[in-house]
Chain A
Amino acid sequence: MISLSLDSSPSPSPSPTVSISSEDHDRPPSPMANAPSSFASSLSPPGLSTFHADLATSPITGGFASQMHLSPPSFTSPMRTQSVGSKYLRRQSSSVDEDAVHDALSPTHVSPAQLYSTESGRLFHAGKICIVLVGLPARGKTHLAVSLTRYLRWLGVKTHAFHLGDYRRVHIAPGTDVPDDYFLVNASPSTVILRQRVMAACKADVYRFFEEDRGQVAIYDAVNPTSAGRRVLVKEFSQRGIQTLFIESICDKPEIIEANVRSVKISSPDYIGWDEKEAIKHYLRRISDKIPHYETLDEPEFSYIKLYNAGERILLNNSRMGYLPNRIVFYLMNLHIKAGCVYFARAGKSTEQMPRYKSDPRLSDEGRTYARILTDTLLEHRRSEHTARGTHGDNSPERELIVWTSTRRRTIETSTEFEKRGFSCRQRPQLSQMHPGSCDGLSGKELEKQFPEEVELHKKDPYRHRFPRAESYHDLAVRLEPVILEMERIPNDILIIAHVSVLRVLYGYLMACSPFDIPALDFERNEIVEIIPSAYNNKVKRIKIYGVEESQTL
């Protein structure tokens, strides 16, 4: 009996602190990279103890077994590596400088842009949905899974991505390759058993996510190359009351595939010292050897989305499933394999000590000096980054920089140096600061005197609380959605010069921060915050601006 649904994709473990990600599914998990992260405790339930025994006795895997019981490597915060099924669901005190998109969500989690919540915890009465990704390796599936998770969570949909590759890596000894027949239809019995184990572990977590954690959308990230295998999945999910939506990522432009391979291959120790083009060819050949039969989505009765060339073309079939699939397509229309960085900077000091919303003050002399220093610092940073990339063999051209500011004068004036040097600057009214309402121009002390109750309420829920006639961070988040989607769609590097409140919300989206953290995020004037997107994690860098003393926030 051959189970055809046991296919996996070579996706890396979504450990947030791993800066080296591997796409190569043949590469054994190196000690540095994939400590069985989020799914570690899926090994602890009693049902799998026999499996432990197998591993422990095998001479090859002895080291692996012991590795699994070791406390995770020091750079991984131990609390974060809990599976969805474990009892440790609360997001622990990880730094806001780490992308939290892979963290498990608590059952009572409320999202930054959530419009409302329902009792079932499932929004829009859409029920339980499993998004099944389909596509060959190097088609951007994992990036898709991660981005979708980020966006859906932002909206308040309880989402989690399950990468089959992680489960496979846990079940295969380090130092050994995936069996050659792993993806073949008529594989050997031992391979079939291995595949079944891997799938079972993954599905167990998926069901746990739906049933115990009130999850709404699970994203199942695997190759899923055969129609028969997909049918089996649909049937199994449907028996559990889970609807299935397929998303297939198709690339018919070789340059996109190559770019994917290149960006992820760089980190694989397997290809150290190889000529880049040779490495790409080699990798692609391995894929076609390992997965000879791939059937594109064609089942008319399924609900599916076909994504061509990272969003250039989208085909949607039979989606009468509710609000969510359409919302997903909406997001996909705006998502691209984003390569550009986002820089956050504040406007310079204005002529008012406490700039009032109504007066919209201009930059002071100090502010104008700041604007010049800011421009020089950023451009110098970009130059040196570009050179550094060159020495590592990456000769891709520098991405064009565009500047976005709000319509407030001090932000526009801060950008004039960039404009003078020929950079395109655009003003966006949505980037205006949070409306201060009746608190306009009030210092902290004055605020306490005039609105003591409001200040108390604000301390209790800084994200959602509105001062009289003012906006809350939540309002800002909803207001900023178009900006967020447009950030996703633009391939350039973007510098956003805006007020602290706006920077906090945008940073919160990119780094999947919780509503508790967003109002407290720090943006000093003597720093440019750089967010570097990568397929699996966004990373933060802080670029020091010299010659500017620290300002007070607010």
Chain B
Amino acid sequence: MGAAVGAAAPELAQAVSQARLLKNLVLTGFSSIYVIDLDTIDVSNLNRQFLFQKKHVGRSKSQVAKESVLQFCPEANIIAYHDSIMNPDYNVEFFRQFTLVMNALDNRAARNHVNRMCLAADIPLIESGTAGYLGQVTVIKKGVTECYECQPKPTQKTFPGCTIRNTPSEPIHCIVWAKYLFNQLFGEEDADQEVSPDRADPEAAWEPAEAEARALASNEDGEIKRVSTKQWAKSTGYDPVKLFTKNFCGTYKYSCSSFFFSFFPKEQNKSDQQNESSAMLKDQQVLNVRSYADLFSKSVKTLSLHLAEKADGEALIWDKDDPSAMDFVTSAANLRMHVFGMNMKSRFDIKSMAGNIIPAIATTNAVIAGLIVLEGLKILSGKIDQCRTIFLNKQPNPRKKLLVPCALDPPNPNCYVCASKPEVTVKLNTHKVTVLTLQDKILKEKFAMVAPDVQIDDGKGTILISSEEGETEANNHRKLSDFGIRNGTRLQADDFLQDYTLLINVLHSEDLEKDVEFEVVGDAPERIGPKPSEPTPKNISNGSDDGAQPSTSTAPEQDDVVIVDSEDEGTSSNADDVENKSRKRKLEKGCECVGAKRVRNLLLPLDKVIHVMSYCNSTLSWDVKNVQN
């Protein structure tokens, strides 16, 4: 898989014989390779995942990978699991049986989890990832190097509710809205995914006539507020015209009639002419408004049929590879863009944004896979001091290097994961935040716990949250203050699977920003000014978000944004010097290889900042912000 070290030319046999011997010794030492992946093979994987062929589409990746490898290396001992690594079956004891763990993941939650498991089991971990032409490899060893969570990584970009609901200004806002609408109509309804205009928003400028119309409408539709969106839609038989009217004509600034006229243009739109060139894929064409109205209508009908086929209570899950789901988001987002005066986007582009697609090719993955093995060999031969973080860049640096090694940093003594007694302070309003929010948004989402147990540090050890299902369910909707939690209270949160204890200091505050439920004190503040245009916010999930179940290809391609702390320069032209000088270099003025502290601005071929991962090709969690080369 990936790069195999090539055979030596005869004349250099002597020089390399030691390396080869080492490799052979080391390889002989591999008693087995365990491969775990929850995903199945998709046709879009075939451009780079060379262990899979067309005939394998739909099958388990780990299983087929094993079969393909055995074809050319029959003596390899490979154990394949079609499963999520976050399954509690894979406990610390499971991890302890390995000499080395290599990650090839595509989401932050799983990376955090494996990071903790490897810390708990004290097993070296090789982290990696790729995105387009870029790639990165690094080594994590408890007590020796930084862990994956030592440096705060920026959370995926989210947009304020009012931007999505009232004042979209960019296509991405409309796309997010369309995905919310999908969930409201066909999927799991989520209180955080409101689509209707927020009348409480002071910035919403209702025109007088509009305001009056709304007042009337709300009187008539008074009942609607008590009925969920999905129930209401069902009651209309998912009538596209009614849905359209409710969701698109309700937007301010545009009256229904003018909007409807736009669907029956007298002349051909300019975009129709542009699309005639054969320089574009069908999906890359931008259609006219009427076509998107038709597509909306068509996809609503299809999706309502799919929903009807489901068992009672079951909902649809949005999947970029499901044509109707993608049609729906494409059309709904474009109609909204049109309403708000933005140029519409092609299905191709919308799919990228809605589906968090990271472009990927075989060669980058091959390079990174090779580097992973090389770092692995160093570890296995007891030379972890020679391990490095290595960046694969798009262009050579001033020293003409494309591959740039950087010294590994020691652990952060204040790391909220790998410090000896991790502690954080969380700012929130104890009268507003519920126990469920604490569990789901804070402990699971923010602090990446999988099955948290929480007790109050009140001398009585009062249990607030139990990881055992049902035990503390009654607490879920109660506020923290109900339990006497106030400013200065300490909570002890444990995840026994991860062997992780986190002490949380509660900082009560009543002046958090709108839409912000909590803040972790000490987190890097949001950037002011130019921001990279980032794709969908983290509470948008594609298919099965947490990947907890073995799934079909509805598993997210990637849903993560990590910062690349890529100081690329800094090594001399002689690779050997790295070992001698890297530490010293860190202190030198103008040193470029300072490890993971500064963030370069990276230019991306597409304005995407998520990493892609495929099992066979090691990919990397990139925190890719904008980099100016």
Real binding pair: no
Binding site for A on B (CB under 8 A): none
